[in-house]
């Protein structure tokens, strides 16, 4: 039996969605293969095992029944509870969404712990989290995206926003650069609304992305799975009665509908697959991710890459893989990437320290 740690929660506005993803994962892991270790991170960055961990309501308010978790760095082990029961972890399934978890933070942490983790590398995760940097990379690699501009807090305070968006045309979409789940997003049609929307976005981030808002387009999502070789899921088309899919109708409203396998021209489908493969290789992705596209006629634009998609995008693989099979695959990939990385040489023996002379650095002192 392998010990599989599922990590979730954290200090993020997507904290609650992370809990739901983790519960779904834990309910679907193959109990004949894996011993599940549920490790929740509180908004205060404490790692704990919640007694009633499969109950969403157990995370509301103060959690009273739990065991603390400590990590043995470099050994791949954890210590649970007052008795510090030591358990070796074979792999971590990352269910964090948003900053402090999906942004490469957990990849760095578990690299120090020496435990494989299912989400893409620190670098891949971090650049995909910042929408401005991500789209800068899109542009540099001929990955089509809508026109955009970076607006900072200083631009807002100095009233320099109008100069930053000279290449954009209304209507515009305003988003915090490092958030997901449609939080802090607004559609604007004039400069007054733009300043108001930037002010809202700045509550969540110091960097804001402003983009051209397409009219009469389809949002199309696809999941990608693998490592060197990538395979594609079926497509989905989220439907919303609002100007765009906000947090409520994305996660809580019953009127949010999705069209599975929407009818698209073959040329459009081919473009989605071609762009997905290019993005997969450009960002050195592996495991399971979701890519969100905007389709306007024959034009296809990549909107963003989600390195830890909600519910790990299992619903897009129905008919091809059951959820437990998808989890098996991302665990296998994570362990393989970890083992491959650890084959590299990270030390070098030199005479620098032995030859060091106490006064040799004085010439560099001011």
3-state secondary structure of 152: strand
Contact in structure between 210 and 173 (CB atoms under 8 Å): yes
Question: Is residue 249 domain-shared with residue 302, that is, in the same domain?
Answer: yes
The CATH number linked to 153 is 3.30.1490.20
DSSP string over 19-77? HHHHHHHHHHS-TTTEEEEEEEEPTTS-EEEETTTT-GGGGSS---SEEEEEEETTTTE
Mean pLDDT along residues 142-161: 96
Least confident of 85-89, 247-251, 289-293: 247-251
Q: Given a cut of 50, is residue 1 above it in pLDDT?
A: yes
pLDDT in tens, 3-53: 999 999 999 999 999 999 999 999 999 999 999 999 999 999 999 999 999
Considering only CA atoms, which of 1, 81, 75, 74 is closest in space to residue 39?
Answer: 81
Question: Is residue 14 domain-shared with residue 101, that is, in the same domain?
Answer: yes
Q: Given a cut of 90, is residue 241 above it in pLDDT?
A: no
Q: Given a cut of 60, is residue 247 above it in pLDDT?
A: no
Question: Is residue 7 domain-shared with residue 110, that is, in the same domain?
Answer: yes
What integer pLDDT is reported at residue 11 of this predicted model?
Answer: 95
Contact in structure between 5 and 78 (CB atoms under 8 Å): yes
Q: Given a cut of 50, is residue 276 above it in pLDDT?
A: yes
Cis peptide before 170 (omega within 30 of 0): no
Question: Is residue 226 domain-shared with residue 250, that is, in the same domain?
Answer: yes
Residue where a domain stops, chosen among 179, 212, 245: 212
The CATH number linked to 277 is 3.30.470.20
How many residues belong to the chain? Answer: 366
Flag whether 258 is in a domain. Answer: yes
Question: Is residue 208 domain-shared with residue 253, that is, in the same domain?
Answer: no
pLDDT in tens, 46-56: 999 999 999 99
> In whole angstroms, what is the distance from residue 149 CA to residue 172 CA?
11
Question: What percent of the chain has a predicted confidence (pLDDT) above 70?
Answer: 93
Question: Is residue 303 domain-shared with residue 284, that is, in the same domain?
Answer: yes
Residue where a domain stops, chosen among 177, 212, 247: 212
What pTM did the predictor assign? 0.91
Question: Is residue 201 domain-shared with residue 252, that is, in the same domain?
Answer: no
Flag whether 261 is in a domain. Answer: yes
Flag whether 312 is in a domain. Answer: no
Q: Given a cut of 80, is residue 244 above it in pLDDT?
A: no
Flag whether 316 is in a domain. Answer: no
Question: Is residue 6 domain-shared with residue 113, that is, in the same domain?
Answer: yes
Flag whether 45 is in a domain. Answer: yes
Q: The domain containing residue 35 runs over which residues?
A: 1-119+323-366
Question: Is residue 68 domain-shared with residue 37, that is, in the same domain?
Answer: yes
What integer pLDDT is reported at residue 352 of this predicted model?
Answer: 87
Residue where a domain stops, chosen among 307, 332, 358: 307
Please calculate the CA angle 8-10-13 and round it to the nearest 5 degrees. Answer: 110
The widest CA-to-CA distance across the chain, in whole angstroms, is 74
Question: Is residue 114 domain-shared with residue 190, that is, in the same domain?
Answer: no
Start-to-end CA distance of the chain, whole Å, equals 60
Contact in structure between 6 and 25 (CB atoms under 8 Å): yes
Flag whether 128 is in a domain. Answer: no
Flag whether 332 is in a domain. Answer: yes
Contact in structure between 303 and 292 (CB atoms under 8 Å): yes
Beta strands in the chain (DSSP E): 2-9, 34-41, 47-50, 66-72, 77-80, 85-88, 91-94, 148-152, 172-176, 186-188, 207-212, 218-226, 230-239, 257-260, 287-296, 299-306
Domain count, the chain: 3
Helices (H), 189-293: 191-201, 247-251, 266-282
Question: Is residue 16 domain-shared with residue 39, that is, in the same domain?
Answer: yes
């Amino acid at each position: 039996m392998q010990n599989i740690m599922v990590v979730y929660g954290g200090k993020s506005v997507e904290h609650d969605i992370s809990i739901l993803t983790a519960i779904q994962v834990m309910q679907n892991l193959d109990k004949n293969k894996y011993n599940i270790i549920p490790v929740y991170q509180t908004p205060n960055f404490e790692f704990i095992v919640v007694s009633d961990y499969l109950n969403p309501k157990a995370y509301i308010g103060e959690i009273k029944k739990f065991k603390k978790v400590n990590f043995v760095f470099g050994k791949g082990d954890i210590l649970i509870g007052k008795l510090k029961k030591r358990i070796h972890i074979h792999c971590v399934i990352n269910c964090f969404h948003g900053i402090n978890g999906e942004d490469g933070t957990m990849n760095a942490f578990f690299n120090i712990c020496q435990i494989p983790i299912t989400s893409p590398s620190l670098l891949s995760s971090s650049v995909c989290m910042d929408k401005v940097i991500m789209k800068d990379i899109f542009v540099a690699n001929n990955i089509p995206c809508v026109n955009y501009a970076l607006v900072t807090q200083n631009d807002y305070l100095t009233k320099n926003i109008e100069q930053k968006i000279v290449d954009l045309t209304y209507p515009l979409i305003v988003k915090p650069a490092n958030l997901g789940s449609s939080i802090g997003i607004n559609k604007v049609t004039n400069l007054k609304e733009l300043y108001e929307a930037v002010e809202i976005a700045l509550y969540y981030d110091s960097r804001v992305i402003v983009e051209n808002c397409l009219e009469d387009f389809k949002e199309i999502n696809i999941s990608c799975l693998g490592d060197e070789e990538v395979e594609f899921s079926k497509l989905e088309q989220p439907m919303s009665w609002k100007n765009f899919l906000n947090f409520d109708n994305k996660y809580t409203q019953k009127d949010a509908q999705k069209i599975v396998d929407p009818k698209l021209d073959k040329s459009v489908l081919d473009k989605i697959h071609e762009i997905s493969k290019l993005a997969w290789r450009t960002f050195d992705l592996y495991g399971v991710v979701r890519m969100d596209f905007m389709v306007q006629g024959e034009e296809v634009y990549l909107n963003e890459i989600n390195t830890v998609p909600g519910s790990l995008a299992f619903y897009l693989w129905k008919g091809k893989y059951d959820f437990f099979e998808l989890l098996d695959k991302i665990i296998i990939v994570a362990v393989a990437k970890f083992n491959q990385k650890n084959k590299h040489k990270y030390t070098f023996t030199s005479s620098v320290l032995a030859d060091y002379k106490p006064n040799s650095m004085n010439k560099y002192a001011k």
